[in-house]
Structure 1
Amino acid sequence: MTRLNEPVSVMPFNGPMQINNLYARRRFLGLSASLVSGALLSGCGGGGGGGSAAAEGGITVVPGAVAEAPPPVVATPAPVAAHPLNLALNLAYLGAAFYGHAAQGAGLTADLTAGIGQAGIATGARSALLSDPAIAEVAAELATDKSAQVAALRNQIGAQAAAQPAMDLSAQPGGAFSVAAQRAGIVPAGSSFDPYANDNQFLLGAFLIEDMVAATYRGLLMAGGEDASALVTESLADAIYHGGLVRTLLEDRARSDTALAATLGKATSFAMPDGSTADAQANILDSEGRVIPFTREAPQVLDMLYLAGSAGGGFLPAGANGV
């Protein structure tokens, strides 16, 4: 047992030293206790109701709240602007679904319908009863062209491409085709219009759709910007060709079909800029004989697709995607 007056050896980091008397030993122990107590107290809070005091070996320790790390900062992604070509893509989906079902009994494949927004299907569409081989060939050509147009637009737009929206292509009295045909004067108010019933009905249904497309592409072309590319110009030419083909076939068949001739005679163009049909005239030339092409901005196109609905309806019951 070590006596009080015997030397005590300790080994610090830099070599040996001796504490050789009781006073020095007590001073050393007191200093050590103070250092330990100070280290404990420095990590504690400044009182309050955070904890209770505890005595341990003569040292009073006051526990306090433990400091918490601040929550991580999560960056809010910047909103992505709608791609201007998505409006044309919604129209292309509509045409591809109508012509695909009418000519081939099926719409687009799944790899051409995914994208931004709520993906939907075409309801009410079915195969058309086409007895004229020439009309059946035209329907198949339109289906192929619209499918290719969808693929080209999706490729141009990239990751911002809209999904195929829900579409109403039914022949019910309150369906989109019936309402559009009623407004265009093709059928009386409250009557149904079936674009799948026969050759003439199919062409009239195609007329209602194609009447919207060319004006939409011309609006995109006039808007300029990087998206007014060769694709828009080519698509405009394609839409003009399709619309002209449908009108030519209707006029040609009306020469030997008095009922169709009467329908065309009283029908007004579905291409009124504001979506109305009041006092519509088939006027495509100005007073000097220059062509007056229809041009529509996005709200006017959507008004026609929705048949005057504010946020959806008509051909697109849940609204357009990505616009």
Structure 2
Amino acid sequence: MTASGQAATDTDLVQFSLNLEFMEAEFFLNGALGEGLDDVSPNLAQGGPPPAGARKANLDILVAPIIKEFAYQEVGHIRAIVRTVGGFPRPLLNLRRQNFAKFFDEAVGFTLIPPFDPYANSINFLLASYLIPYVGLTGYVGTLPNLTAPASRRLVASLLGVKAGQDAVIRTLLYERGSQTVLPYLLTVAEFTNRISALRNKLGKSGNKDEGIRVPVTLGAENKTTSNVLSADVNSLSYARTPPEILRIVYGTGNESLHGRFFPQGANGKIARTYVTVAGGGRGGYK
């Protein structure tokens, strides 16, 4: 359903995911290569504005090629979606260090000094990356049952598989470093993931659909593990999120009609635009 009460079509649902695919593509491309979609495949941006603040990250020899692989996978995802259901212009993205710093301050509950910089090193970049593919993953899990056309279902199932793999790799790399203190802060990698997940749950307003890389045994697989490399529910099934829940998180406002954070002018596509229109604020109309 869209905010107007009209049933969302397969095209609406699949196109909605382009917003997160654009965000991931720009973050990973710039982080690994120092260049974005306008350099790698400019036609896919469809005239949308370049991201603000994206830059090359200081990645080590293990993490750099992994992020490069993720980056090119995102380019392929955007192309596949556009070819299957059409697309829309890339929305304005805020990938500035200061924007991530504010998110991390909110997650930990106090002001980090110095401000968190996702581009400073591999650990920081992985923690910032922890923010992104998982949200897209839960979105695809929520979308798949609502699709009717075989082509749309095949596409989303394929996208879901790769997204789940990306998230698992990021979580595994962080799990290996779980007890490591993130310098110069007094929090460990595991503590950061727990607090980021808690904030996403708070913003999503739909209960517990997000867990850090280490959990109490009561939340572990079959109540027997504290490792949580694959985030899943009590039956070890993937969590699902709806478009409004996703918008609440990526806007950083807890309100699907109030844009901000990573999408300062709002997400694009019919579904996202109906929430802005119904709320009577921001930019009306669809893109």
TM-score under structure 2 normalisation?
0.72
Residues 298-317 of structure 1: pairs in structure 2 closer than 5 A: 298-308=243-253, 310-317=257-264
Please identify which structure carries the higher strand content.
1
Q: Which of structures 1 and 2 has the bigger CA Rg?
A: 1
Higher relative contact order by CA 8 Å / sep ≥ 6: 1 or 2?
2
Say whether residues 1:111 and 2:34 are aligned partners.
Answer: no
Residues 305/286 of structure 1: CA separation in 2 closer, same or farther (3 Å cut): farther
- Cross-structure match for 1:202: 125
Residue in 1 aligned with 2:137?
A: 214
The match for 1:178 is: 101
Structure 2 unaligned regions, length at least 5: 1-7, 213-218, 224-232, 271-287
Letter aligned with residue 102 of structure 1: G
Give RMSD over aligned pairs: 2.8
Q: Does 1:124 align with 2:53?
A: yes
**Alignment map for 1:274-293 (pairs within 5 Å):** 274-275=203-204, 282=212, 283=219, 285=221, 290-293=235-238
CA drift of 1:245 comes to 0.2
State the identity as a percent: 28
> What amino acid is the match of 2:52?
T
Match of 2:176 in 1: 252
Does the 8 A contact of 2:205 with 2:245 survive in 1?
no
- Aligned mates of 2:220, 2:148 — CA distance in 1: 27
- The worse-fitting range, judged by mean Cα deviation, of 208-217 and 304-313 is 304-313
Q: Distance between the aligned counterparts of 1:277 and 1:179, measured in 2?
A: 23
Q: Which amino acid aligns with 1:218?
A: V
Q: Which has the higher helix share?
A: 2
- Distance in 1 between residues matched to 2:222 and 2:106, nearest whole Å: 25
Separation of aligned partners in 1, 2:33 and 2:155: 26
Classify the secondary structure of the residue corresponding to 1:254: coil
Q: Distance in 2 between matches of 1:242 and 1:294?
A: 16
Matched ranges for 1:235-250 at <5 A: 235-250=159-174
Kindly indicate whether residue 247 of structure 2 is the aligned counterpart of residue 319 of structure 1. no
Secondary structure of residue in 2 paired with 1:193: coil
> How many residues get paired?
233
CA distance in 1, matches of 2:21, 2:220: 24
The alpha-carbon distance between structure 1 residues 285 and 253, as it changes in their structure 2 partners (threshold 3 A), is closer
Which residue does the alignment assign to 1:188?
Answer: 110
Give the TM-score, by structure 1 length. 0.65
- In the alignment, is the contact (CA less than 8 A) between 2:117 and 2:124 conserved in 1? yes
Which range is displaced more, 212-221 or 276-285? 276-285
3-state SS, counterpart of residue 17 of structure 2? helix
* 2-structure distance, mates of 1:90, 1:281: 23
Contact 1:284 1:292 in 2 (8 A): no
Q: Quick one: distance in 2 between partners of 1:306 and 1:228?
A: 26
Q: CA deviation at 1:285?
A: 4.6
Shift of 1:122: 0.4
Structure 2 counterpart of 1:251, one-letter code = Y
Shift of 1:142: 0.8
| Structure 1 unaligned regions, length at least 5 | 1-79
Determine which of 139, 148, 155 is the counterpart of 2:76: 148
Change (3 A) 1:200 1:84: same
